[in-house]
Structure 1
Amino acid sequence: MPSERRVRHVPRPLAVRATEPFDTAEAAWFWVQRARLNRAEGARLTADPLAAARPCDPDDIVRAVQRLARAAVLTRRHLRVLDRHGRRLTPPDARLPEEEADAALWAEALDRLTGPLRRKGIVA
């Protein structure tokens, strides 16, 4: 009987790098949106050695938003505003009459998102 060679798989250690939380939930949300746009364009996500390491993945923030939506803390109107302005990568401008309502919902949604993200260490 031939000797069987046992192959051992050992995970490679990840580079130890200090993480930096986001200053605001808005900054975290725009980071998620940029990652989603990059994924949609087929980009392979690799860490930028010059960018700040973040304490989460974009999906962690999306899951926090989904949990708030399931708990009815965020309404469909909040989600639509987050999506619409997130895709534009710019917050609604309360000075414009057509964006005044969106600006109020935007601020409310991000205020409600800040607590869960802060508890997870994603927002400072």
Structure 2
Amino acid sequence: MPAERRARHVPRPLSQRATRPFDSAEEAWFWFQRARLNRAEGARLAADPLATARPCDPDDIVRAVRRLAHANVLERRHLRVLDRHGRRLTPPDARLPEEKADAALWDEALDRLTMPLRTKGIVA
């Protein structure tokens, strides 16, 4: 009797095209939020052949945020601001009195997120 072959797990590449990192953590965050909103609406995340190939999956960004939150680098208030303005797909406007505090937290959160994303090659 022939021996059974074991199936090997080979990770599938994210893209066959050259990838381009995001210019900033903010750009990566909004890309993640758009992907999250599309998933919530039931869209399948098939790659758009005309879109720029990215060096990560949206889940890579959320994992980086979770690691920072677990290490208390990002606090609840940072996460609330990232979520609130991420869902709106627009950063807080520091010129508006009601968004001034959010703008400061937004900048802090993205500043803290930049290095982990840069280390992974997600942000240039």
The two structures share one fold, judged by TM-score above 0.5: yes
1:4-29 deviations in whole A, cap 9, x for unaligned? Answer: 9x899787x75621000000000000
1:42 matched to 2:42: yes
1:61-94 deviations in whole A, cap 9, x for unaligned? Answer: 0000000000000000000000000000000000
Matched residues, number? 121
User: What is the CA–CA distance in structure 2 between the aligned matches of 1:73 and 1:24, rounded to whole Å?
Assistant: 19
Report the RMSD for the aligned CA atoms in angstroms: 2.0
Match of 1:31 in 2: 31
Match of 1:18 in 2: 18
User: What is the CA–CA distance in structure 2 between the aligned matches of 1:101 and 1:8, rounded to whole Å?
Assistant: 56
Structure 1, unpaired ranges of 5+ = none
Match of 2:55 in 1: 55
User: What is the CA–CA distance in structure 2 between the aligned matches of 1:75 and 1:8, rounded to whole Å?
Assistant: 45
Deviation at 1:50, TM superposition (A): 0.6
User: What is the CA–CA distance in structure 2 between the aligned matches of 1:97 and 1:67, rounded to whole Å?
Assistant: 31
TM-score (norm 2): 0.90
TM-score (norm 1): 0.90
Structure showing greater Rg: 1
SS at match of 2:107: helix
SS at match of 2:92: coil
